[in-house]
């Protein structure tokens, strides 16, 4: 909000077309800072030009040059104005229209069918949903696509294993399917005949073999039903589910297009696209005549471009697929699709248990449903130890426990940079004194408790116009960080990093709890006093931003804890 106004003034003062402000990590360097002075080599002249801008003087109280950087402090009037905006706009505070008229497609979650939804799938699901929420809130026409892995060589393994063990596919469970997959994969490493048999089964599936298709449909149905239970528990809603199989009849067009553009060529019986010296060739058709994951991804791009005309397609997929997506994006560029559309891979890191990597093929995955159930058990333990909120009935208590347990797991994932590996640690997940989901939820519940005690029915009627006193250190700190919220959202979306929003919310919660511990918020003798109304307004604003921010992360904030 204020950032845009300052940037506009800076462009004129520095005589440049583009300038970017940063929020300094150290508040001693102001609310916003820029290195444009270092780039232009004349920070004093730029500052002189800025002081002539009357519109800037209304929102900025001080401009300082330090080590070539130009630092800006928001005025008291601007901070109060922002506080009033939060009280008025409530859930809409922080919204932007930077995405107006632009479509973004986000490919996320995308589990492989016939396998349990493990903790390893959690990252793509919750990071993808948070990025989706951020882009939607900032005005983009956002499309979520769950690109299910319901095709390919791994399905040949499942089909071959079912036939080998004489399982009745109508009565098989998802756990049994994964056990079959793990067992067969291990044996196929030593037995090439089993590997070839699996390839043959996938070929039969692509050739529309009746038996292969029947089993494939049953396995998909079982898998999707189990995945929906997890999505419901995590409160995940994805707009579309187009599995890899959806593109079965669309791959021939991609192959024809590659041939027409003279990009496709034969190599050892396979059909490939040469991507240049920096990348290995992209394989369109294997030597046995079956298609590849890459061919289906190209077909998906072609479909998405025609259906939604996106300016950006984001893939939230694990870091082990980095090379694959470099190949996909390069092939898309050669096919002429990158002229109007950008492609981004959010390559999330691994979830480690005790520092060790999990693997479905090795049978070392942990079922996500078990983790979520344990998280709710731990939330219940936390609830009992706290011995608070005695007025909560059993149903409400159950709902709070669910919000805290699920929120704790989600936040622990999202607080890390997507590309980093994370070591799963229950103590960190439920740390009520540190950077955790329950800590933020507890701080929000604290703000609501104070608001309810205030007995002021209409918080929009708080009289801030009468506030003329100097802010104390803690009040000023809160007002300054509250003014940064919209800019943080834009920054988190631009960098595909929900962890930026997590860090902001934790910082806000810490500052509020410091303020709470040092100052009386409600004057017991006169709750309508100017001081009480001002401090209550800060409490309302903090609660609003905490709740809004958590919701963008996909985390619900209980009113009581």
Best mean pLDDT range from 288-297, 301-310, 372-381, 517-526? 301-310
- Is a pLDDT exceeding 70 seen at residue 358? no
Q: Is residue 339 part of a domain?
A: no
- The residue to which tokens 């004349």 are assigned: 42
Contact 272, 281 (CB under 8 A): yes
Q: Is residue 191 part of a domain?
A: yes
Nearest by Cα to 156 from 200, 126, 188, 194? 200
Number of structural domains the chain divides into: 3
In a domain, 401, yes or no: yes
Q: Domain holding 33: CATH number?
A: 3.30.1360.70
pLDDT of residue 389: 57
Q: What is the overall mean pLDDT for the chain? A: 91
Write down which residue in 74, 89, 118 finishes a domain: 74
**Looking at residue 410, what is its pLDDT?**
97
**pLDDT score recorded for residue 454:** 84
* pLDDT 10s digits, 152-161: 888 899 999 9
Indicate whether 62 and 158 sit together in one domain.
no
pLDDT tens across 299-330, in order?
A: 999 999 999 999 999 999 999 999 999 999 99
**Is residue 15 in a domain?**
yes
Q: Are residues 417 and 545 in the same domain?
A: yes
Residue 143 pairs in a beta bridge with 105
Q: What was the pLDDT predicted at 527?
A: 54
What pLDDT is attached to residue 388? 57
Residue 95: partners with Cβ closer than 8 Å, 6 or more residues away: 89, 137, 138, 139, 486
Of 212, 237, 262, the domain-final residue: 237
What is the rounded distance in angstroms from the CA atom of residue 505 to the CA atom of residue 500?
Answer: 9
What is the C-alpha separation between 259 and 257, in angstroms, rounded?
5
Distances (CA, A) of 411 to 196, 220, 232, 377, 551: 43, 30, 17, 17, 11
How high is the pLDDT of residue 463? 61
Looking at the structure, tell me whether residues 400 and 548 fall in a common domain.
yes
> Please, which residues have CB within 8 angstroms of residue 485's CB and are 6 or more apart in sequence?
93, 94, 504, 545, 549
Task: Please state, in angstroms and rounded to a whole number, the distance separating the CA atoms of residues 546 and 559.
Answer: 12
Query: Is 490 part of a structural domain of the chain?
Result: yes
What is the pLDDT confidence band of residue 362, given thresholds at 50, 70 and 90?
Answer: low
Domain identity same for 55 and 160: no
What is the mean predicted confidence (pLDDT) over 389-417? 90
pLDDT of residue 497: 98
What per-residue confidence (pLDDT) applies to 387? 62
Do 511 and 393 lie in one domain? The reply is yes
| Domain stops at, among 19, 40, 74 | 74
CB 312 within 8 A of CB 344: yes
Give yes or no for a contact between 129 and 317, defined as CB atoms under 8 angstroms apart: no
pLDDT score at 465 = 59
Whether the per-residue pLDDT at 456 is higher than 90: the answer is: no
Same domain, 65 and 159: no
Q: Are residues 402 and 542 in the same domain?
A: yes
Q: Which of 538, 549, 530, 551 is nearest to 511 (CA)?
A: 538
- Indicate if 514 and 408 belong to the same structural domain: yes
Residue 291, pLDDT score: 87
| pLDDT surpassing 70 at residue 461 | no
176 and 61 within one domain? no
Residue position matching structure tokens 């067009």 = 253
User: Quick one: CA dihedral 433, 438, 85, 50, positive or negative?
Assistant: positive
- The answer as to whether 364 is a domain residue is no
Is residue 460, in this structure, part of any structural domain at all?
A: yes
Range(s) of the domain holding residue 231: 149-237
3-state per-residue secondary structure call for 224-250: HHHHHHHHHHHCCCCCECCCHHHHHHH
CA atoms within 13 A on the CB side of 474: 18
Is residue 313 a contact partner of residue 107, using CB atoms and an 8 Å limit? Answer: yes
Most confident of 54-68, 197-211, 466-480, 494-508: 494-508
CATH number at residue 417: 1.10.730.10
Q: Are residues 204 and 61 in the same domain?
A: no
pLDDT digits (tens, 9 = 90+) for 127-150: 999 999 999 999 999 999 999 999
Judge whether 90 and 107 are in contact, CB under 8 Å. no
Q: How far apart are the C-alpha atoms of 356 and 351, rounded to whole Å?
A: 9
> Of 86-100, 180-194, 452-466, 539-553, which range is least confident?
452-466
36 domain residue, yes or no: yes
| DSSP 8-class letter at 18 | -
Same domain, 531 and 405: yes
Lowest-pLDDT choice from 174-188, 386-400, 410-424: 386-400
> Are residue 68 and residue 171 in the same domain, yes or no?
no
pLDDT-derived band of residue 65, with 50, 70 and 90 as boundaries?
A: very high
pLDDT over threshold 70, residue 208 = yes
**pTM value?**
0.93
pLDDT band at 408 (very low <50, low <70, confident <90, very high): very high
């Amino acid at each position: 909000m204020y950032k845009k106004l300052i940037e506009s003034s800076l462009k004129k003062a520095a005589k440049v077309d583009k300038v970017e402000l940063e929020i300094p990590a150290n508040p001693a360097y102001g609310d916003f800072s820029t290195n444009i002075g270092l780039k232009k080599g004349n920070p004093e002249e730029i500052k002189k030009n800025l002081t002539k801008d009357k519109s800037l003087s209304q929102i900025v109280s001080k401009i300082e040059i330090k080590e070539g950087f130009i630092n800006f402090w928001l005025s008291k009037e601007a901070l109060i104005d922002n506080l009033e905006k939060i009280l008025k706009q409530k859930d809409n505070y922080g919204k932007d229209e930077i995405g107006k008229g632009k479509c973004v497609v986000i490919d996320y979650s995308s589990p492989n069918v016939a396998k349990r939804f493990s903790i390893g799938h959690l990252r793509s699901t919750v990071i993808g949903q948070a990025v989706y929420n951020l882009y939607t809130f900032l005005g983009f026409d956002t499309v979520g696509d769950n690109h299910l892995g319901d095709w390919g060589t791994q399905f040949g393994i499942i089909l071959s294993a079912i036939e080998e063990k004489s399982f009745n596919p109508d009565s098989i469970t998802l756990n049994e399917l994964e056990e079959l997959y793990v067992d067969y994969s291990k044996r196929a490493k030593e037995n090439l005949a089993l590997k070839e048999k699996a390839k043959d089964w996938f070929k039969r599936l692509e050739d529309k073999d009746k038996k292969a298709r029947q089993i494939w449909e049953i396995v998909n149905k079982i898998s999707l039903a189990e995945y929906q239970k997890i999505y419901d528990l995590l409160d995940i809603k994805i707009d579309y589910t187009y599995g890899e199989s959806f593109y079965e009849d669309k791959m021939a067009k991609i192959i024809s297009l590659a041939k027409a553009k003279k990009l496709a060529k034969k190599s050892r019986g396979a059909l490939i696209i040469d991507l240049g010296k920096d990348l290995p060739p992209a394989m369109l058709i294997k030597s046995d005549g079956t298609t590849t994951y890459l061919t289906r991804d190209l077909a998906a791009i072609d479909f998405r471009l025609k259906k939604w005309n996106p300016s950006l397609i984001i893939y939230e997929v694990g870091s082990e697929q980095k090379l694959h997506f470099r190949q996909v994006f390069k092939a898309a560029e050669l096919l002429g699709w990158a002229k109007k559309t950008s492609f981004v891979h959010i390559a999330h890191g691994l979830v480690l248990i005790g520092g060790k990597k999990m693997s479905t093929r090795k049978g070392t995955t942990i079922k996500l449903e078990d983790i979520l159930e344990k998280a709710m058990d731990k939330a219940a333990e936390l609830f009992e130890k706290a011995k608070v909120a005695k007025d909560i009935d059993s149903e409400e208590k159950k709902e709070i426990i669910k919000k805290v347990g699920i929120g704790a797991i989600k936040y622990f994932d999202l607080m890390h940079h997507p590309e980093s590996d994370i070591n799963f640690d229950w103590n960190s997940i439920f740390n009520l004194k540190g950077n955790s989901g329950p800590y933020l939820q507890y701080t929000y519940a604290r703000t609501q408790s104070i608001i309810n005690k205030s007995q002021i029915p209409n918080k929009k009627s708080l009289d801030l116009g009468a506030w003329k006193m100097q802010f104390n250190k803690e009040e000023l700190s809160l007002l300054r960080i509250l003014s940064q919220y919209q800019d943080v959202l834009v920054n988190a979306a631009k960098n595909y990093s929900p962890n930026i929003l997590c860090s902001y919310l934790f910082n806000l919660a810490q500052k509020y709890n410091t303020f709470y511990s040092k100052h009386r918020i409600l004057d017991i003798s006169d709750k309508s006093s100017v001081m009480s109304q001002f401090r209550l307004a800060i409490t309302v604003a903090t609660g609003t931003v905490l709740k809004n921010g958590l919701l963008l992360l996909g985390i619900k904030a209980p009113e009581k804890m």
